[in-house]
Amino acid sequence: MRYFSTRGAEQLLSFEETVLTGLAPNGGLYIPERIPSLPADWEERWRDYSFQDLSVEILSLYISPSEISHDELRTLVDKSYSTFRHPEISPLKQLSDKTYVLELFHGPTFAFKDVALQLLGNLFEFFLVRRNSRKGPGEKREKLTVVGATSGDTGSAAIYGLRGKADVSIFILHPKGRVSPIQEAQMTTVADANVHNLAVRGTFDDCQDAVKALFADTAFNARHRLGAVNSINWARILAQTVYYFLAHFHARRAHQLPQGAQLQFVVPTGNFGDVLAGYYAKRMGLPMGKLVIATNANDILARFWRSGAYEKVDSAPSPGASDGKQAVAGVRETQSPAMDILVSSNFERLLWYLAYEEQGASADDVARVRAACATVDGWMRAVKVDGRVQVPTAVLEAARRDFVAERISDEQTLETIRSYYGSSPSYIADPHTAVGLCAAGLVSPHNAPSTVQVVLSTAHPAKFSEAVTRALAGEPSFDFAQDVLPEEFRGLLERERRVEDVPNDIEAVKAVIERYVGDGRAAVEKGASV
Ligand SMILES: *Cc1c(COP(=O)(O)O)cnc(C)c1O
């Protein structure tokens, strides 16, 4: 299996090159040269498989055995999910007759990004160690320096994915004093020598600007070959397809779902990575209803499915905006901050498949692929230049065949947390999961009676204590420490920290990186990104 960029298919990359490169040099995202279909006996053979068994089967459809052998893949997968606290990795829980949650937060940082980043960290290490083992005695080792900015969530998942990995260092910038205490403690109590937390005296935007400046500094980048922390890496999407399959089997095995029942996955969505993994699962042949995209007030996707316009900033007053906020030229801060985005980077991958379909089956495949890349390139150029693109009606209709989208306000989010807390069984949802649960409720009246909804639960409620506490403040029986706080978080705030204070100044940030990984280090030729 090889991969090419959504904006031009001239170059075909191996899986290794795809994972180490991250973003294509032409600005596009890598996709597989074809979507593999499932083996004929998949449903029979995979029925009792564990998460890890399924992961090996599915990943091997996308990775040539000449690149990673079956045994090596098994080792990588087992190692990646050994850090999870739940034996099923992503357990499925029933909340009502027709509603389940798929809990994806049982990894080291209590949020769903662990599912992908634990594997990605091990893939990086596997590739680098293999490259270095082929080097002669005098040759420089290839190393990778991952640099990223975080407002809390992604940073800790990346740190836990890369901690202790050979030949990889990670530098995470966070705004000093502006990250939630739990998230700050999660990041800064990691003691591994290759992990570096930089507390920048500034805002999150300052951190992000500093990271951008580092990447733009060609001399610095050439010396260190930096990798970025973001969700466009193909390996992250691939890792996430697995739990859709697990839920399919688990619903039938543990919950005796009738044969004729159809699952509908509801996915709290920001950068479109998680729900895109569901789309790949669907295209591979996993039976499911339309995927539900659940957004918060940052609703570029919900607006696209309404109008076919992919538009950075809302140009019309948004209906259903119960928070009464008018369109503002920027990201809106919500109660579900991990989904506060202006554009959804992985959406470009779906656009490619829509553009490909639009070509019609009559054209030969090479011409179709070329035309789809050119179309996507044009659309993304329009978004960059004009801030928007309008796709043809046929493309919007194709998008509506596989997806529905709902926008959920903060008020609805908090109300949903309250309502699930008060129902039987009582369930405490984090605000992102609540966005999904609320969207599920809006969509379900339109579903066939045999449809059962599975809402992806993307974070543990303790991680977003502010929203949960605010929602449940009026509940006399609610006790955060007792009902929500996991054992692992107790005492976390008192544990020893490893963090370096840095002024809001790019030269100071550079100096810290130089200090740890300087001295003319070798670099990965292709660069990399998390
Ligand atoms: C990242 C994140 C999301 C959004 O996932 P995407 O793949 O970006 O759509 C949702 N919830 C939580 C808790 C997250 O950390």
pLDDT of amino acid 362: 76
Distance 133 CA to ligand 1 centre (A): 36
Q: Is the CB of 459 under 6 A from ligand 1?
A: yes
3-class SS of residue 525: coil
Helix, strand, coil percentages, rounded to 5, for the chain: 45, 15, 40
Q: Does residue 228 belong to any structural domain of this protein?
A: no
If phi > 0 it is left, if psi is from -120 to 50 it is alpha, else beta; for residue 179 that is beta
pLDDT of amino acid 36: 97
Secondary structure tally for the chain: helices H, strands E: 20, 18
Q: Is the CB of 272 under 6 A from ligand 1?
A: yes
Active site residue 165: no
More confident residue, 36 or 228: 36
Omega of the bond leading into 425 within 30 degrees of 0 (cis): yes
Q: Is the CB of 188 under 6 A from ligand 1?
A: no
Buried b (16+ CB within 10 A) or exposed e, 305-317: beebebbeebeee
Distance 65 CA to ligand 1 centre (A): 31
| Token digits of residue 216 | 């733009």
pLDDT of amino acid 439: 98
> What does the mean pLDDT of the chain come to?
91
pLDDT of amino acid 317: 54
3-class SS of residue 453: strand
Q: What is the pTM of this model?
A: 0.92
Q: Does residue 122 belong to any structural domain of this protein?
A: no
Q: Does residue 279 belong to any structural domain of this protein?
A: yes
Distance 383 CA to ligand 1 centre (A): 22
Q: Does residue 472 belong to any structural domain of this protein?
A: yes
With 0-12 / 13-18 / 19 or more C-beta atoms within 10 angstroms meaning exposed / middle / buried, residue 208 is middle
Q: Candidates 103, 230, 274, 299: which one to mutate for ligand 1, based on the most atoms within 8 Å of Cβ?
A: 274
C-alpha to C-alpha distances, 349 to 162, 280, 313, 344, nearest whole angstrom? 26, 10, 21, 10
Residue-wise pLDDT for 85-105, tens only, equals 999 999 999 999 899 999 999
Residue-wise pLDDT for 432-481, tens only, equals 999 999 999 999 999 999 999 999 999 999 999 999 999 999 999 999 99
Q: Does residue 21 belong to any structural domain of this protein?
A: no
Q: Which DSSP state fits 13?
A: E
Mean pLDDT of 278-286: 98
pLDDT of amino acid 328: 44
Provide the number of structural domains found in the chain: 1
202 pLDDT above the threshold of 50: yes
Check which CATH number belongs to the domain holding 267 and give it: 3.40.50.1100
Catalytic residue among 79, 93, 98, 113: 113
From the CB of residue 257, how many other CB atoms can be counted at a distance below 10 Å? Answer: 19
Mean pLDDT of 179-204: 93
Query: Widest CA span of the chain, in angstroms?
Result: 68
Q: Is the CB of 271 under 6 A from ligand 1?
A: yes
Cα angle for residues 412, 416, 421 (degrees, 5° grid): 155
Give dist(CA 310, CA 297) in Å, integer.
15
Give dist(CA 251, CA 449) in Å, integer.
17
Q: Is the CB of 338 under 6 A from ligand 1?
A: yes
Mean pLDDT of 212-220: 85
- Contact indicator for 300, 310 with CB cutoff of 8 Å: yes
pLDDT of amino acid 45: 97
Percent of the chain having pLDDT more than 70?
94
| Highest-scoring range by mean pLDDT, 60-74, 166-180, 225-239 | 60-74
| Token digits of residue 418 | 């309250």
Q: Does residue 453 belong to any structural domain of this protein?
A: yes
Q: Candidates 458, 460, 463: which one to mutate for ligand 1, based on the most atoms within 8 Å of Cβ?
A: 458
More confident residue, 183 or 263: 263
Mean pLDDT of 22-34: 91
Residue-wise pLDDT for 468-508, tens only, equals 999 999 999 999 999 999 999 999 999 999 999 999 999 99
pLDDT of amino acid 295: 98
Q: Does residue 257 belong to any structural domain of this protein?
A: yes
Q: Does residue 408 belong to any structural domain of this protein?
A: yes
| Token digits of residue 488 | 């692992």
Distance 155 CA to ligand 1 centre (A): 13
Range of the domain at 374: 237-483
* pLDDT range class, residue 361, cuts 50, 70, 90: confident
Mean pLDDT of 497-524: 83
- Lowest-confidence pick of 55-64, 139-148, 241-250, 518-527: 518-527
* pLDDT range class, residue 316, cuts 50, 70, 90: low
